[in-house]
Amino acid sequence: MTTVTMKGVSLALDDHGQVAQLHGLGIQCFGGTYYAYGENKANGNRFQGVACYTSDDLAHWRSEGIVLGVRESGLLAADTIAERPKVLRCPSTGEYVMYIHTERGDYNYAHIGVAVADNPLGPFRFLFSMQPFGNISRDIGVFQDEDGAGYLISEDREHGTHIYRLSGDYHSVVEDVACERGTNYEYGYESPTIIRHEGLYYWFGSQLTGWECNDNMVSTATDLHGPWSEWRPFAPVGSRTFDSQCDVIVPLDDDQYHSTRFMYIGDRWRQSALGESPLVVLPIVLDGEDVAL
């Protein structure tokens, strides 16, 4: 991927010169290679498959095509919506498990789709959709801790945003670890993502403003169960997170749990041309309770 970058804003191009369809993306490093999975929004908001790109250096990206395809009918068909694909490798089975926010024609179905593959390049096979413990689930994120435990983070309009612990095979949830609303805010935060650094968990999220950007927030805790600190902005107040919505924080050192350098990636949505929404890529400093983009 050639990246045309100006002040951290990248219109990411793949090795064919096409805009990389990495909207609402998730990134994992498997076997020393970075795999990025994104919403393909080339032709609007309806599901067009999950696109995958690989990289050895987070700067040059190869297009690996569509790894979760459009189905003929039902969920993940061309008339549905599916957002924020995230992939984890399950340590106990070796399987690659993809989670994706699945909707039907509008945003009322609010389930998590689960798909699996033997290979990070897919093809991923859709298994089922679920609502963890019966809770609404819209924006999602994932986190894998150093002990191999997997977590789904999921926005539930009624209760707040949850952290759910996954079962040993990563196919279901076994614990509602935490559920948080924002500070002085009615809802839990969207576009959730968590990382750990030097004994602290950092939970990031955005306010609920549709495709518009806002001042995204972070909370910290020494345990995923909490207590979680008050939520606070990590970019200059009023900058609307430099006009972006957080997707992931990527550890840049080889040992992701002892990394000292981190990269923020977020979307700057263009509602009229979602497929041309640029990524905002910026360094982020984590220093105890202090977080600065």
User: How far is 199 from 194, CA to CA, in rounded Å?
Assistant: 13
Residue 274 or 286 having the CB closest to ligand DGJ? 274
The string of DSSP codes covering 12-77 is EE-TTSPBP--EEEEEEEETTEEEEEEE--TTSSS---EEEEEESSSSS-EEEEEEEPPBSSSTTB
CB of 2 to ligand DGJ, least distance (A): 26
User: How far is 113 from 90, CA to CA, in rounded Å?
Assistant: 16
Residue 139 or 156 having the CB closest to ligand DGJ? 139
| Residue from 32, 134, 199, 210 in contact with ligand DGJ (CB under 6 A) | 210
CB of 229 to ligand DGJ, least distance (A): 23
| Residue from 156, 190, 243, 247 in contact with ligand DGJ (CB under 6 A) | 190
Q: Kindly state the DSSP code that residue 148 receives in the 8-state scheme.
A: S
Does position 187 interact with ligand DGJ (CB under 6 A)? The reply is no
| Residue from 80, 161, 191, 244 in contact with ligand DGJ (CB under 6 A) | 191
Which residue has the closest beta carbon to ligand DGJ?
210
User: How far is 246 from 205, CA to CA, in rounded Å?
Assistant: 7
Binding track over 78-97 against ligand DGJ, x by CB under 6 A: -----xx-------------
**Going edge to edge, which strands form the sheet with 125-130?**
81-89, 96-103, 111-117, 125-130
- For residues 139-168, which are near ligand DGJ according to CB under 6 A? 139
Does position 24 interact with ligand DGJ (CB under 6 A)? The reply is yes
Closest CA to 25 of 44, 8, 50: 50
Name the one residue in this structure whose structure tokens are 């395809």. 69
CB of 211 to ligand DGJ, least distance (A): 5
Does position 21 interact with ligand DGJ (CB under 6 A)? The reply is no
Site residues (vs ligand DGJ, CB under 6 A): 24, 83-84, 139, 190-191, 210-211, 245
